Amino acid sequence: MSDLTSLSAFDQFSIGHIIFGAITFFLLLVVLGRFGKRRDRFILLITFLLTFIIAIGFEIIENSAFIVNDSGLKINNRKDSVLNSTMDIILNMIGAFIIFIIFWYILKKTNLKQDIIRLKRKIVK
């Protein structure tokens, strides 16, 4: 492990934060999508916001005194630097944004297909 772990903007855990953000966003989307009649753009935006809040909460818990001092889970028992914590949150959101774009595209294509069907029905009438 590098001496710069938890101090620099990117470290060996950076890819894990991208994956965590993507999985968190996807799972929230599945849960929230069941409460609505359909997975619309509003649900995507709310899910994106909740993922952001969870990422911030995770960083707060990860750098709390219990995790840093007592658990032995942190390297050299040191807190993340502000730069590292900020980048971890941004990387979480990049992972979420990737899933966001995929679902946004799917919704756009779905609406496009529905519009084409409606247009064909109007032409036939």
Main-chain dihedrals φ then ψ at residue 62, nearest 5 degrees: -60, -30
- Tell me the C-alpha distance between 121 and 125, whole Å: 6
Q: Is the pLDDT assigned to residue 54 strictly greater than 90?
A: yes
User: Which tokens sit at 65?
Assistant: 């005194």
Q: Is the pTM of this model over 0.85?
A: no
- Tell me the C-alpha distance between 74 and 72, whole Å: 6
- Tell me the C-alpha distance between 114 and 119, whole Å: 9
- 3-class secondary structure, 39: coil
pLDDT in tens, 24-47: 998 988 888 765 455 567 787 888
